[in-house]
Amino acid sequence: MNFNQFDDNQFTISPELLTVMARIVDDHPQELQALIQKAQRSLGAGHKTLDEDYAHDSIIDFLSLMELFAYQAKNEVEVDTHLAKQMMPAIDHIDGIACDHETVASSVEHASEQKNKHPHINAQELLYKELLRRWKPAKKTSMN
């Protein structure tokens, strides 16, 4: 990651950011257009053209912020993947008949949030506790 790396007034964009930018353009053009329209409206009708130095600094600031967001998002995905791997043995032992997919998914999500807040706690234990909180067993109509 290259935040504000200036060499003869140059800025380097990481391949990861270029990939993210391409994905935004390909997959979210309406959201991007809406964001640009919102920014244009906030400028108002009488906005003046920026001088060259300010424009250059604005571009560098924008790209640096995009690099930071891309880096943070990548780290969040890596943390989520790591947590999922920690919880996978526990998830594999859950009976899909007794506990529906939505309950398991919401339990995994909440356990992941708790694990991020309290990294010293065992991820599988957190998952089991969340499952017990959310599990609503079906009432048996007949007793055998």
**Residue 25: is its pLDDT beyond 90?**
yes
Report domain extents, the chain: 15-40+51-134
Task: Look at residues 53, 54, 64 and name the one whose alpha carbon lies nearest to residue 4.
Answer: 64
pLDDT > 90: percent of the chain: 12
Distances in Å between the alpha carbon of 47 and those of 35, 66, 124? Answer: 18, 25, 56
What distance, in Å, lies between the first and last C-alpha atoms of the chain? 63
Residues 8-23: what's their mean pLDDT?
A: 82
pTM: 0.49
Q: How many helical (H) and strand (E) elements, i.e. helices and strands, does the chain have?
A: 5, 0
Please state which of the ranges 9-13, 24-28, 101-105, 140-144 shows the lowest mean pLDDT: 140-144
